[in-house]
Structure 1
Amino acid sequence: MSALRDSFGRFGARLAPGAGGFFAWWGAALASWLPASWRAVFGLARDRLLLARDGEQLMLRVQTLDGLRELGRVPWPPDADDDALSRLLAPSVAELPRWGLLPASVGLRRRVLLPAAAAERLHDVLAFEIDRQTPFPADAVYFDARVVERRGDGQIQAELVAVPKVALDDALAALGPAASTLAGVDIADEAGRPLQLNLLPAGRRQRAADPSRRWNWMLAVVAVLALAVGLWQILENRNAAADAFEAQVSGHAGDARRVAQQRQQLLDLVEGAAFLERTRVGRPTAIAVVDELSRRLPDGTYLEKLSLEGGQMQLIGFSSEVGELVRQLEGSKLWRSPALSGAVQPDPRTGRDRFTMTAELAIAPEPGKPANARNDDASGDADAQRTR
C-alpha cells in the first residue's frame, strides 16, 4: 500500500473502530476519480504487476483500482535474465512495482478476534499467535495479517496468513533473477484475487521511490517558507505599528507641550493683569495725592518735583518752614511715615531751604483682609527709617 493510504489507516485506527475502513474506502473512491498520472503523483495509485509461475510459463496480470487485467502468458525458462520482462512489456507496464502472486493452496489462513487497539501493530501482535493458530513454528513461516472487519463493540476481526518458508523460497527460485526485482509477494484467495498482503521479508523487498516523498518535501519547503514569510510579515507589521504609535505619541507630546506653554503664558498674563489691577485699585491716584498735598503744604512751600514710583512718594522743593513739613503731612490716609531725606540746603536765590522728603503710599487692603496684614512690611520699613 502507499504511504498515504497507510497514514489514513493509522489515523483511522486512533479515531475509532471502523474509521480506518472508512478512510481506506474514501481514499480508494477518491483515487478512482483521478487520472492514472495523478494517482501516481499523489501516491494513491495501487497499480502493480503481478507475476505468477505456472509450469514453464509466467502469468502476467496488472492490478489497478479498477480490478485485475490479464496481460498474458510468456514462456519463462529458468535461465531468463531480470531484463527479459522489460523487453517484453510496454514501458508504462514495465515501470510498475512487481509483485509475486502465490496460489491460495500454499498458504494457511486463520481468523482472530482482537481488540481494536491491536490494529496499529497487527503484525507484531499476531507474531505471538503463530504457534497457536498454525501447525508451524514461528521461525518456519513467512506471515502477514490484515483487518477483515471492524466491529462496533471495540474489537476487530483479523486474518493471519502464513506460508511455509520452503514454499515461498521455491516460488521465488522459480522466478529466477526476476525474484530480485519484486517489491513484495501476495497470495490469492479462492477466487484468484490478491489479499493485499506482503509475505516477502522486509530485507528482500525491492524498494521503489515513493512518488509522494518528493511532493512531501516540496510541500514541507513551501510550508517553511510560508511560515518564515508570515513571521517576517508579522514582525514588519509590529514594527510599522510601533513606529506609527511612536510618531503619534511624539505629535501628541508636541501638542501637549505647546498647550502647556500657552496655558502658562495665559496664567502669567491673567496673574499679571490681576496684580496690576489690585495695585491700581489699592494705591491712591496721582490726582488725589496732588490734591491732598495742596491742602496740607504751607503757603511758603512749593514743589519742584513730585515722584510717585512703586509704593514710594518723593517730594523735592523749597520751603521757608521745613521744620513744619513733617508735622503737616502726617495723619494723611494717602501716605504714611513722611520724613526728610538728606540734608536741608539753603537756596540764596529764593531765600528758602531746599528739601527732599519721602513717604510711603498707603495701599488699600484686599476685601476680607485686615488693613495691617498687607502693610506690615511697609510699616516695618517706615519704622526703620524713623529709627535711623
Structure 2
Amino acid sequence: MSGLVAYIKRGMAALLDEMTSWQAMIGLPHAARSKFLLVDERAKLSCYRVGRTRPVHKGDGARADLRNGWLNKIVGAHPVELRLAGDGVVVRSLRLPVASRGHIEAIIRHQIEQIMPWPSEKMVYDYDIQESEAARLSGQIHVRLVATSLTTMRSAIEPFQAVGITPVVVGLASDPPDGPSTINLLPGAKAALRERRRHISLVCLCVLAGVGAALVTGAGWHVNRAATEAARIDASLASLRGAIEVARKEAETTKDPGLNLARKWDAVPMVLLLDELSKRVPDTTYLTALDVDDRDVRVTGLSTNAANLISLLENSDMLEAAGFSAPIVRDNDTKLERFEILVRFTETGRQ
C-alpha cells in the first residue's frame, strides 16, 4: 500500500512540474502593471503614470534627491515598476532547439553559473523568449537572459525602500515602456512566481479531479439504475413464464376437452410470443409491460433506439402491423427512450 501511495505522489509531482513548466512556457500568469513606472536614465530618474494607451510623464528627479520627497509627491504609497540602466546588468542571448521550449527554465538553472560572472547564490536573473519570424524559420528559440549581482540589486532598490517606495518589478530601461516588463530581477520574484504557478496547477488538478469524480459517480449511478431496472424486468418475465408453464401443465392434465382447448389457445401463443420477442428485441431494450388482447399485442419498455424496433418486429413471421401507439419520450432517470408499440398476431401466428 505504501508503495502505491509513493507512486501516486511521484506521479502527481511530475504532473505538477509539467503544468508549471507549461505556464512558464506561455507566460502565465500574465504580469499586472504597477500604476507608476520609474526609468533610470543614469543622469536622472523619469517617473511615468501608466495609462491605458501609453505612459504619461509625471516628473524627473535625481536619485540623490529622493529623500527630499519629490518622488513621494508623485507616486504616494503606490508601488512602482523600476527600470534599471545597463550598469552592472549582464545580458546574454541563447539559442535553444524548439523541442526544449517546455524546459527552458531547467536548462538555464543548470547552466547559469557557466554563462554569468557570479555564483548562483550571489546573483538574481530572469529571462524572456524573443519571438521573431527568423527564429521560427530556423527551428530555434532565442532566449534573452538577464542577470546582475545581489549587491548591485540591493544598492539599486534600497534608496527607494528608505523613503517608503516599494519596487515590485525591476526590469531594464532599454525595454519599451509601453508594455509591462518581461524581466523581473527583484530578489525572490522568481521563487514567488514559480510558487504561484505551482499553486495554479494544483488548483486546476483539484478541479479536474472533482469533475472526474462527479462524472464517474453519475455514470455509476445511472449504470446501477439501469441494472436494477433490467433485473426487475427479468424477474417479471421469469414470473410470467412460470405462470404460463403452470397453465400449460394444467391444460395437459385436465380431463375437460373444452378447458384444455381454451388453455392451449391462451398459453401456447404467449409462450411463442415471449420466445419470439426474446429473439427480436436487442439487449439494449428492456420490456416493462406486455398485454395481449386476442390478436392485439401491446409492448411497453425502454430502449436506446426505439425507432428500430418497428422493423425488427415486422420481420417476424408471427407478428404484423407494428406501430407506435404513443409518442416516444426520453426517461429522465435512465436516459433511455420509453416506447409503446401495438402489433398484431398474424393469422398463423395466433394459431
Give the alignment's TM-score, normalised by structure 2.
0.48
Query: Rg bigger for which structure?
Result: 1
The structure, 1 or 2, with the larger RCO (C-alpha pairs under 8 Å, 6+ apart) is 2
Give the alignment's TM-score, normalised by structure 1.
0.44
